[in-house]
């Protein structure tokens, strides 16, 4: 009798594991394919060979690139080279990417930048917030951008128990931000288990020098985050749920959910066109290819433009799509004055004129 019970329990466990594996493949869209959507005026950006995971652009056309991300389970074309921050002036006739110098005292050897966000203070001081993973840990670095010297002055490193697995960030003050945790755990094995079991414990955290709190919860894997031009709404990409959440921001900085936009792709970073409020999204049509890298069958790229997201029927347009022959693993798309920049997790970056 005992053997029958043991066999029965084993069968149930195997069935559960099989169901979870199938569900994970669906969340990763492991069979996803993409039809090419080309733009006529595009070229790869020189100097970016190993990823440009996030991009943010100042009102004067200076674009910042977070480059060289290394992460457990992700391919890297430059595994031994630290990451950095590049800048490109989009007002130049032929803009090119230049690496910004970072002030002495900051540990450049372990710099592993992920999501970034710009904040402009009332006195026009520009702060650059960078999610950093030194030795695969989780910190947020705050820099002051010194344009005359093309450099970043490191001001502060932030660590907190409510920031165990930070992915992206949107700055709302000189030392204030919202950040996404793509997992509840920081340990790699527990992260994998959390994802496999679809625990939906990922969240959004608000940080200020006086208060740190979780303000939105229940995400499969909270990823890209950004704020509307009127500062009333926070947008959060849930990459494995294929969703963008619209959250209303309150005076106490808490968030309440207004709506969820469901999409048919893995949504990564979110960029906002300040003039129109349109959301530009770097997406992954097939997430499994990101983690099981095959140079003969590389991850594809996709860029979506979402208009009128607060309306009953937002307009979703595929602006660019490629099977990986040009661009692999698009993670962000940012626009400025008719120009489009597309960054990737660990590949190249694309400059297009719309």
Binding residues for Ca(2+), as ranges, are: 53-54, 116, 167-168, 223, 268-269
Q: Is residue 277 within 8 Å of residue 229, measured between CB atoms?
A: yes
Q: Is residue 308 within 8 Å of residue 326, measured between CB atoms?
A: no
Element (H, E) at 205: strand 202-207
Q: Which residues are catalytic?
A: 114
Please report the DSSP string for 208-239 in residue order. Answer: -SS-EEEEEEEESSEEEEEE-TTSSEEEEEET
In DSSP terms, 170 is beta-bridged to 178
Q: Is residue 206 within 8 Å of residue 180, measured between CB atoms?
A: no
State how far the Cα of 95 lies from the Cα of 353, in Å rounded to an integer: 12
Q: Is residue 224 within 8 Å of residue 237, measured between CB atoms?
A: yes
Please, what sign has the CA dihedral across residues 320, 323, 324, 326?
A: negative
Q: Which residues have CB under 8 Å from 41's CB, separation 6+? A: 352, 353
Please report the DSSP string for 4-33 in residue order. Answer: HHHHHHHHHHHHHHHHHHHHHHHHHTTT--
Q: Which residues have CB under 8 Å from 193's CB, separation 6+? A: none
Neighbouring C-beta atoms of residue 256, cutoff 10 Å: 10
Q: Is residue 167 within 8 Å of residue 223, measured between CB atoms?
A: yes
């Amino acid at each position: 009798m005992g053997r029958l019970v043991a066999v029965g329990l084993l069968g149930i466990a195997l069935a559960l594991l099989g169901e979870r594996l199938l569900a994970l493949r669906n969340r990763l869209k492991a069979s996803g394919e993409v039809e090419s959507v080309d733009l006529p005026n595009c070229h790869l950006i020189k100097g970016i060979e190993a990823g440009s995971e996030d991009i943010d652009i100042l009102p004067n056309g200076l674009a910042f690139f977070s480059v060289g991300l290394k992460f457990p389970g992700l391919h890297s074309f430059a595994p031994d080279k630290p990451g950095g921050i590049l800048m490109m002036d989009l007002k130049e006739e032929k803009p090119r990417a230049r690496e910004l110098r970072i002030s002495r005292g900051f540990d450049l050897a372990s710099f592993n930048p992920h999501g970034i966000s710009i904040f402009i203070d009332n006195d026009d001081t520009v702060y650059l917030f960078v999610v950093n993973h030194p030795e695969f840990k989780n910190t947020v670095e705050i820099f002051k951008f010194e344009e005359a010297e093309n450099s970043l002055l490191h001001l502060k490193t932030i660590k907190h128990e409510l920031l165990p697995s930070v992915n992206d960030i949107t700055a709302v003050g000189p030392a204030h931000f919202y950040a996404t945790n793509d997992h509840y755990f920081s340990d790699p094995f527990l992260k994998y288990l959390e994802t496999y079991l679809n625990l939906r414990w990922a969240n959004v955290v608000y940080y200020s020098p006086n208060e740190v709190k979780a303000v939105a919860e229940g995400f499969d894997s909270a990823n890209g985050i950004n704020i509307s031009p009127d500062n009333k709404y926070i947008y959060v990409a849930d990459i494995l749920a294929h969703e963008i959440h619209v959250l209303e921001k309150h005076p106490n900085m808490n968030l309440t959910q207004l709506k969820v936009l469901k999409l048919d792709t893995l949504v990564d970073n979110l960029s906002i066109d300040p003039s129109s409020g349109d959301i530009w999204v770097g997406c992954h049509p097939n997430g499994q290819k990101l983690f099981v890298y095959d140079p003969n069958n590389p991850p594809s790229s996709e860029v979506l433009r979402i208009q009128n997201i607060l309306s009953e029927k937002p307009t979703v347009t595929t602006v660019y799509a490629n099977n990986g022959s040009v661009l692999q693993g698009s993670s962000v798309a940012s626009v400025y004055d008719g120009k489009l920049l597309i960054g990737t997790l660990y590949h190249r970056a694309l400059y297009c004129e719309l």
